[in-house]
Structure 1
Amino acid sequence: MTDVQHNPLLRLLNRTSLVSQIIIGLIAGIALAFFLPNLALKVALLGDVFVSALKAVAPVLVFILVAASIANHQQGQQTHIRPILLLYLLGTFTAAIIAVIASFAFPSSLTLVSNSAELSPPGGISEVLTTLLMNIVDNPVNALLKGNFIGILAWAIGLGFAFRHAAPGSKQVLSDLSNAVTAIVKMVIRLAPLGIFGLVAATLAQSGMSALLDYLHLLTVLVGCMLFVALVVNPVIVFWKIRRNPYPLVFTCLRESGITAFFTRSSAANIPVNLQLCQRLGLHEETYSVSIPLGATINMAGAAITITVLTLAAVHTLNIAVDLPTAILLSLLASISACGASGVAGGSLLLIPLACSLFGIPNDVAMQVVAVGFIIGIVQDSAETALNSSTDALFTAAACIGQARKAG
């Protein structure tokens, strides 16, 4: 405490909010990439260490936190998982519908590239769902090592219920473990400004923006849909749930969750950030300890938009006629596929061939669309993750506040 009082730098850090520090790191990273690109490449290590630390701590945090929350759950305490699941599914399907409307209103054409990514897309929706099911019954050690959050959740829930019949001392050990891992997470999150600085500087120095100019229209449609969902659709859904001005909560989640998710480009890495946000918002720990990792797996509005927009861009490029029922079917397929995106290597982009097959587009052409997705991935993936992750915290908070309003 004495060191903090006498050190002007530490005093300044304590007085400056974490979000403000992240914004400073963002501006500094952009400036470094612009003026000293060679040096910017060397600070990439800061970003890599930050993202790796978040990814490393997230599986352990989720496993311990969920197990401890269920084990110490008091009889009569309410959790709000069911309404949160409804919000997740509603938000994802609505996002796909918005993407269809935007794609019809502002059709995009692609210059299909010749060398597609050497990746294997899933053969059908059944393969996506099978992968999801196999992730649930994964070996717990393997699930922790590979960051398989569906498997981690399944084992944590099972262990938590088993520990409800354990001695009070055993339950206390779980609680102490939860507190210890949470303390480590807080230390990692304090490194966010340096991490964001490294990520931004290295990314801009490596890629620049020239590669994105050819796909500016497509990017505008993609990011425009995501902004519309974040600033119009989500607030409407939240208002329906809490019956008051939703924007303070929406902007809080975008500011404190969306910014870090945008630059880490990993829903898994942003789980600790969302758990911290829910704690600060005073939500039920028994609820958010399950809903946040679950949301990182199935709440995929951004992925649904990506799949829909890029598929319809391919459809428009190939002059394939699309009627309304087929467009609605695409929205449903994109929503279901997006929920299983985390169980497929390559995420949402590799589910585009699955959606393209609905229109009879050959797989080799569809994989060229995937390659276009990787070209614009610097912006697409960042915006997609920011929408997905901030919505996890937003819908969790909305459900908890809505249930409290009904109870009151």
Structure 2
Amino acid sequence: MKKIGLLPRLIIGILGGILIGFQFPEWIGNTLYTFTHIFGEFLGYIVPLIIVSFIVPGIADLGKKAGRLLAGTAGLAYASTITAGIIAFFISIFIIPLIVTEGSVADAEAPGLSPIIELEIPAIMGVMTALVTAFIFGLGINYIRHEKAYTLLYQGMNEFREIIVLTIKKIIIPLLPLHIAGIFADMAASGEAFHILGVFGQVFILIILMHFGYIFIQYSIASSRTGVNPFKAIKNMIPAYLTALGTMSSAATIPVTHRSTKQNQVSDETTDFVIPLSATIHLAGSTITLVACSVAVLIIGDQTPQFMEFLPFILLLGVTMVAAPGVPGGAVMAALGLLSSILGFTEAQTGLMIALYMAQDGFGTACNITGDGAIALIVDSFVNKKKKAKA
């Protein structure tokens, strides 16, 4: 029997939760919401561990690659990710309020569900503490990579990451539909579920359009540097886009991205270096999704997103999500701490973010890796220019 994919299970969870909230006795809804409450506490506990386990090996891995090529690629990738987030914020803040009418804003006075048992699972450390710790250990391991202790520390952090990734794949991802079901059961009980689903459907379309628009912007910039036809270059990347859409993993798509990039006449040297690196650090599509979803969730909650609040969120997203592309849904998992610590998201708002992000994870990943091809074109233009100058 073929295994049901995550997206269908999320849809089943949403519909099942709404049905329970509307039609089932309150004690059944409270029982389901008890799981959602405990699972939310577990997510809060594991978020700092996700940050440390993703960022430390990601920074340590950069130590294997040295020189201006690394600095140029990393700089372009980060600039692209941040630019994507800023553009997404201003488009979202302009369009989403037109989607979210007064009737779609949650009624704060409406009664919802309540957990039968409340359980607190305190995190080992705060989100910002985890970020600082990750940078210290990542840079420290990178610095001592020529010493004996490097191998032990590097292997230890990679094994720690494997444990966290295993936890995400075997526990968090399989239980997410049930968690989402509890959140939507609570929304159904308070009468806001259908309003929110209607808004999210339109936000989903907006996000996809922003992905396509930003891909075109990236290849237009690459065209100005290289003279390549942007439409032809994007056409050559379609196999990589479709592969990422299915795998929902930039890392798993690297072989196809590599082949598609070379079809755009990027040199072997640049392709071999830029594509694997960009698959880890270039997250424009994921950032667009996270920013747009965050704006939507805040507006639905009758809050007004402010750019100066979102700017630190966007800047840190580009760092926090390092190495997350190897895990389907890893980007939103890595961002959970920032959502709560910087944007002040509640447990219910975090659940909405997870649901919306996971529903389109493949599209965000596809935007990420398609943009990697544009980064490779730009980097290659600088490399070839230097080669010609030396000759």
Q: Same fold (TM over 0.5)?
A: yes
Q: Does structure 1 residue 151 correspond to structure 2 residue 151?
A: no
Counterpart check, 1:27 vs 2:27: no
**Where do residues 108-119 of structure 1 align in structure 2 (5 Å cutoff)?**
108-109=101-102
Q: Which runs of 5+ in 2 are unaligned?
A: 110-122, 220-232, 255-273, 317-336, 382-391
**Aligned match of 1:302:** 293
For 2:343, the equivalent position in structure 1 comes to 348
Query: Where do 1:280-319 residues align within 5 Å?
Result: 280-282=252-254, 286-287=277-278, 289=280, 300-304=291-295, 309=299
Q: Displacement of 1:199 after TM fit?
A: 0.7
Are 2:192 and 1:212 equivalent residues in the alignment?
yes
Alignment match, 2:47: 55
Q: Residue 170 of structure 1 is aligned with which of 149, 153, 159?
A: 149
Q: Deviations over 1:254-282 (max 9, x none)?
A: 7766xxxxxxxxxxxxxxxxxxx232122
Are the aligned partners of 1:84 and 1:399 in contact in 2 as well (CA < 8 Å)? Answer: no
Name the count of aligned residue pairs: 302
| Residue type of the alignment partner of 1:348 | L
Distance 1:314 1:397, change over 3 A: closer
In structure 1, C-alpha distance between the alignment counterparts of 2:10 and 2:211, rounded to whole Å = 28
Asked if 1:244 corresponds to 2:234, the answer is: yes
Quote the offset at 1:233 in angstroms.
Answer: 1.2
Distance 1:172 1:333, change over 3 A: closer
Structure 2: distance between partners of 1:247 and 1:104: 33
CA RMSD across the alignment: 5.0
Q: Does 1:404 align with 2:382?
A: no
After TM superposition, list the pairs within 5 Å mapping 1:32-51 onto structure 2. 34=19, 37=28, 40-41=32-33, 43-44=35-36, 47-48=39-40, 51=43
Q: 1:88·1:299 contact (CA, 8 Å) conserved in 2?
A: no
| 3-state SS in 1 of match to 2:191 | helix
Residue 93 (structure 1) shift:
2.8
Q: Which amino acid aligns with 1:78?
A: L
Look up the SS of the partner of 2:125 in the other structure. helix
Distance of aligned partners of 1:198 and 1:53 in 2 relative to their CA distance in 1, 3 Å threshold: farther
SS at structure 2 position matched to 1:83 = helix
Task: List aligned pairs for 1:5-404, cutoff 5 A.
Answer: 16=3, 20=5, 23-24=8-9, 27=12, 30-31=15-16, 34=19, 37=28, 40-41=32-33, 43-44=35-36, 47-48=39-40, 51=43, 55=47, 57-74=49-66, 78=70, 80-102=73-95, 108-109=101-102, 145-148=125-128, 150-164=131-145, 166-167=146-147, 169-188=148-167, 189-192=169-172, 194-208=174-188, 210-212=190-192, 216=195, 220=198, 223=200, 226-241=203-218, 243-245=233-235, 277-282=249-254, 286-287=277-278, 289=280, 300-304=291-295, 309=299, 333=308, 335-336=310-311, 338-339=313-314, 347-348=342-343, 377=349, 381-382=353-354, 393=365, 396-404=368-376
Shift in CA distance, 298/401, structure 1 to aligned 2, threshold 3 Å: same
Contact 2:60/2:142 (<8 A) preserved: no
Residues 64-108 of structure 1: CA distance to partner in whole angstroms, max 9, x if unpaired? Answer: 312430333355763632222232233223223323442675573
Kindly state the Cα deviation for residue 232 of structure 1 after the two structures are TM-superposed: 0.8
Give the counterpart letter for 2:163 in structure 1.
I
Please identify, of 296-305 and 232-241, the stretch whose mean Cα deviation from structure 2 is larger.
296-305
Structure 1 residues 219 and 195, CA, compared in 2 at 3 Å: closer, same or farther? Answer: closer
Give secondary structure in 1 for the equivalent of 2:102. Answer: coil
Instruction: Give the superposition deviation at 1:234.
Output: 1.1
CA distance in 1, matches of 2:14, 2:279: 33
| Alignment partners' CA distance in 2, 1:344 and 1:186 | 20
Change (3 A) 1:203 1:280: same
Q: Give the C-alpha shift of residue 147 in structure 1.
A: 3.0
CA distance in 2, matches of 1:237, 1:93: 12
Kept in 2, the 8 Å contact 1:92–1:300? The answer is yes
Match of 2:265 in 1: none
Residue 275 of structure 2 contacts residue 372 of structure 2 at CA under 8 Å; is this kept in 1?
yes
For the 8 Å contact 1:93–1:301, the answer to whether it is kept is no
- Deviation, 1:299, is 6.7
Cα deviation, residue 155, structure 1: 2.0
Unaligned runs of 5+ in 1: 1-11, 116-142, 258-276, 316-329, 351-373
CA distance 1:251–1:58, change in 2 (3 Å):
farther
The answer to whether the 8 Å contact 1:163/1:171 transfers is yes
String of CA shifts for 1:35-56, please: whole Å, max 9, x gaps: 6735634654884587367526
